[in-house]
């Protein structure tokens, strides 16, 4: 690929599609964001991805067909060789393998590579962000769910393809049901979706909270990270209790992973992780301590630096 080659990166999430155009130094020249279609099927999602990337190219002042490569970070079952994405549970009607790379490649006349959304975001922090100076790290993405990425000795570790499921480390025996169908996982306490379900249950049981009032005021249909932050600022007790539980669960799960892997650094990303920032990263660090076997030398803990663009930048690295 030529030195001045432009690359596209798309972070395909369940609620939004973030697209960027980057140069060979990984500088973002243009970006655009679209809501992820909630109805229809893969062709509708692909159409929104195309629009987002075209808009990012326009913002960068380049024609979309000048992109030499396009990387996509996506949830679900990825077969990069076949260029297909399957079982993307958060995307409408996306079960069977769908030729995503082929469709995008045809539209833009570019090479398209697919990667796991959390893996590419971890890679971005490793190469360009908060973990630049480390050779081993654990990326913890605290958002709708809780995802994790692992870099060991400078290389992504994906195991047999599915490593890094930090959100599904059990932290409580016979604990709360997790969206994955198991019980007591980190995500059952810390995933935004699970936290919202807990808040709704508490309200049904008579608890008082401003969470859903703020949601209405903001015209949203779910408890976004911004709504959680606002409720905490207002001293909402239910929100504080659920966030305390979440931090406890993440700290316990991350400590377990550290006892096995002993990484140099923990990078906290994701919608909630980035929104809450340093003070909460420190709280997670404190919550880890009782469970760290070597507690005299804990890993460095940092907030992801690339914020909302990390996933798309990491995707663009797939075609670097």
Rank residues 102 and 182 by Cβ distance to Zn ion and give the closer one.
Answer: 182
Rank residues 39 and 173 by Cβ distance to Zn ion and give the closer one.
Answer: 173
Rank residues 77 and 170 by Cβ distance to Zn ion and give the closer one.
Answer: 170
Binding residues for Zn ion, rule CB under 5 A, total 5
Answer for which of 87, 132, 155, 182 binds Zn ion (CB under 5 A) is 182
Closest by CA position to 230, among listed 117, 187, 220? 220
Asked if 249 is part of the footprint of Zn ion (rule: CB under 5 A), the reply reads: no
Q: Which of residues 184-203 bind Zn ion (CB under 5 A)?
A: 185
> Considering the complex, what minimum distance in angstroms separates the CB of residue 195 from Zn ion?
14
DSSP single-letter state for residue 110: S
The residue range among 42-50, 108-116, 175-183, 237-245 that interacts with Zn ion, by the rule CB under 5 A, is 175-183
Asked if 180 is part of the footprint of Zn ion (rule: CB under 5 A), the reply reads: yes
Rank residues 176 and 238 by Cβ distance to Zn ion and give the closer one.
Answer: 176
Per residue in 225-237, is it b (16+ CB within 10 Å) or e — as a string? bebbbbbbeeebe
Rank residues 107 and 168 by Cβ distance to Zn ion and give the closer one.
Answer: 168
Q: In what order do the strands lie in the sheet with 146-152?
A: 155-156, 146-152, 137-142, 265-269, 300-303
Binding pattern to Zn ion, positions 115-154, x when CB under 5 A?
Answer: ----------------------------------------
Where residue 219 falls (left for φ over 0; alpha for ψ -120 to 50; beta otherwise) is left
The residue range among 4-12, 21-29, 109-117, 174-182 that interacts with Zn ion, by the rule CB under 5 A, is 174-182
> Considering the complex, what minimum distance in angstroms separates the CB of residue 186 from Zn ion?
8
The residue range among 20-28, 75-83, 94-102, 181-189 that interacts with Zn ion, by the rule CB under 5 A, is 181-189
Answer for which of 7, 34, 168, 302 binds Zn ion (CB under 5 A) is 168
Which residue carries 């360009």 as its tokens? 128
CA geometry: angle at 1 spanning 156 and 55, to 5°? Answer: 85
- How far apart (Å, rounded) are the C-alpha atoms in residues 247 and 249? 5
- How far apart (Å, rounded) are the C-alpha atoms in residues 288 and 76? 29
> Considering the complex, what minimum distance in angstroms separates the CB of residue 190 from Zn ion?
11
Q: Give me Rg for the CA atoms of the chain.
A: 19
- How far apart (Å, rounded) are the C-alpha atoms in residues 70 and 316? 6
- How far apart (Å, rounded) are the C-alpha atoms in residues 91 and 42? 8
Q: Which residues contact 217 (CB under 8 A, 6 or more apart)?
A: none
> Considering the complex, what minimum distance in angstroms separates the CB of residue 185 from Zn ion?
3
Contacting residues toward Zn ion, per CB under 5 A:
168, 178, 180, 182, 185
């Amino acid at each position: 690929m030529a030195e001045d080659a432009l690359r596209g990166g798309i972070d395909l999430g369940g609620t939004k599609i973030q697209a960027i155009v980057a140069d060979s130094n990984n500088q973002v020249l243009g970006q655009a964001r679209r809501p992820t279609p909630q109805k229809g099927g893969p062709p509708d999602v692909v159409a929104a991805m195309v629009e987002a990337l075209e808009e990012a190219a326009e913002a960068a002042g380049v024609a979309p067909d000048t992109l030499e490569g396009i990387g996509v970070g996506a949830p679900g079952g990825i077969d990069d060789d076949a260029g297909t994405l399957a079982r993307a549970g958060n995307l409408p009607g996306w079960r069977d393998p769908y030729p995503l790379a082929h469709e995008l490649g045809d539209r833009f006349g570019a090479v398209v590579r697919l990667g796991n959304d959390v893996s590419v975001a971890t890679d971005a922090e490793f190469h360009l962000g908060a973990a630049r100076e480390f050779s081993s790290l654990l990326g913890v993405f605290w958002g709708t769910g809780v995802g994790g990425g692992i870099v060991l000795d400078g290389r992504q570790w994906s195991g047999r393809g599915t490593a890094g499921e930090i959100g599904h480390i059990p932290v409580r025996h016979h604990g709360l049901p997790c969206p994955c169908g198991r019980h007591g996982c980190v995500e059952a306490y810390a995933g935004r979706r699970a936290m919202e379900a807990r808040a709704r249950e508490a309200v049904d049981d008579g608890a008082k909270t401003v969470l859903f009032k703020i949601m209405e005021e903001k015209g949203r249909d779910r408890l976004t990270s911004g709504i959680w932050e606002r409720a905490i600022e207002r001293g909402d007790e239910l929100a504080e209790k659920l966030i305390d539980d979440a931090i406890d669960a993440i700290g316990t799960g991350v400590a377990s992973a550290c006892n096995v892997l002993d990484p140099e650094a923990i990078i906290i990303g994701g919608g909630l992780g980035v929104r809450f920032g340093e003070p909460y990263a420190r709280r997670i660090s404190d919550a880890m301590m009782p469970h760290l076997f070597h507690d005299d030398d804990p890993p460095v803990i940092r907030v992801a630096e690339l914020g909302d663009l990390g996933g798309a930048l990491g995707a663009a690295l797939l075609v670097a």
